[in-house]
Amino acid sequence: MLQPPKTKTSRRIISLPPELIHELKVWKLKCPKSDLDLVFAREEGLPYHRNAASKALDQAITKAEIEKRLTPHGLRHTFASLLLDNGVAVPEVSALLGHKDSYVTWKVYAHFVRKESTAVQDLATSILAGT
């Protein structure tokens, strides 16, 4: 069943790399036709049940002989964690995740936000340079 997202911020536009856009277009040409213009559809053109993603991920993990189970939600968490660990600003990650505000992102992922800051040193240098 398709339904609108939970909140207004859940509906968003996310920029994708051109290579991924190309691959999705190629994939869609191979997929069953769908009245809903779906990229991922069952043989009869209907949407997959949300549990199908978990099942497909489980099969891929088993085939790759990975011992730890990973869920779609875990992939979302990994995505956010990697972005923050690489220095992407909390508000940008928050927008990508569709969080209502950056505080939600900060609260959940604070342990991944880089703690290194030169703000105090920079301020002290600029104050001392002015004297």
Mean pLDDT, contiguous 10-residue spans, the chain (131 residues):
79 89 91 84 86 91 90 90 90 90 88 68 73 53
How far apart are alpha carbons 15 and 103 in whole angstroms?
23
Question: Which residues sit opposite 47 in a β-bridge?
Answer: 41
Can you list the alpha helix ranges (DSSP code H) found in the chain?
18-30, 51-63, 72-85, 90-97, 102-109, 119-129
The reported pLDDT for the residue numbered 109 is: 86
Enter the pTM of the model.
Answer: 0.69
Rounded to the nearest 5 degrees, what angle is found at the Cα of 8, between the Cα atoms of 56 and 83?
A: 55
